[in-house]
């Protein structure tokens, strides 16, 4: 169910970006957003209609505040939040029990912004398992991590 929703959201986002190229200009001055242990940069269009779709762009440990995806998404009229987990530049310290809370922090933040009606998770490289893990736990609860078929309980 989660993958089907993700694919549907991606198709919609691609269609929207093709349908309205050049409607807005990329934000020329992204805003730094401190969110507790999470640091983020908020990109939004300089002009055009207020965005109602937010993209969350991250990697598990790499510094992601200046990711090109956020600039390009803002150019196409979307709000984009590029953000770093608490484990930036420290792969050995990653604790999966905690890292989902970093995603939740950013999801809660963009959902609190006026006009945002959809949130799309976008992870590249180490961000893919990060976002997939969060989505699985968000949909199925912590029991998703438990069971005889799991490598680690």
Of the CA atoms within 13 Å of residue 60, those in its CB half-sphere come to: 19
pLDDT along the chain (153 residues), means of 10: 55 50 59 96 94 96 94 95 95 90 97 97 92 91 84 70
Q: What pLDDT, on a 0 to 100 scale, did the predictor assign at position 22?
A: 46
The fold of the 26-144 domain, in CATH, is Rossmann fold (3.40.50)
Q: How far apart are CA 9 and CA 33, in angstroms?
A: 25
Q: Confirm if 51 and 115 have CB atoms less than 8 A apart.
A: yes
Q: Is the pTM of this model over 0.85?
A: no
Domain boundaries, the chain: 26-144
């Amino acid at each position: 169910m989660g993958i089907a929703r993700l694919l549907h959201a991606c198709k919609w986002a691609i269609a929207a970006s093709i349908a309205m190229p050049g409607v807005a200009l990329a934000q020329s001055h992204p805003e730094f957003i401190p969110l507790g242990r999470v640091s983020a940069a908020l990109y939004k269009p300089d002009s055009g209609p207020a965005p109602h779709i937010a993209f969350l762009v991250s990697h598990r440990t790499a510094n992601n505040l200046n990711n090109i995806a956020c600039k390009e998404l803002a150019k196409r009229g979307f709000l984009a939040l590029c953000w770093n987990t608490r484990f930036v530049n420290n792969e050995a310290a990653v604790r999966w029990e905690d890292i989902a809370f970093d995603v939740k922090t950013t999801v809660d933040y963009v959902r609190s912004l006026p006009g945002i009606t959809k949130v799309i998770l976008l992870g590249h490289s180490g961000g893919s398992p990060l976002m997939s893990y969060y989505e699985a736990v968000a949909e199925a609860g912590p029991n998703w991590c438990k069971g005889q078929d799991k490598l680690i309980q």
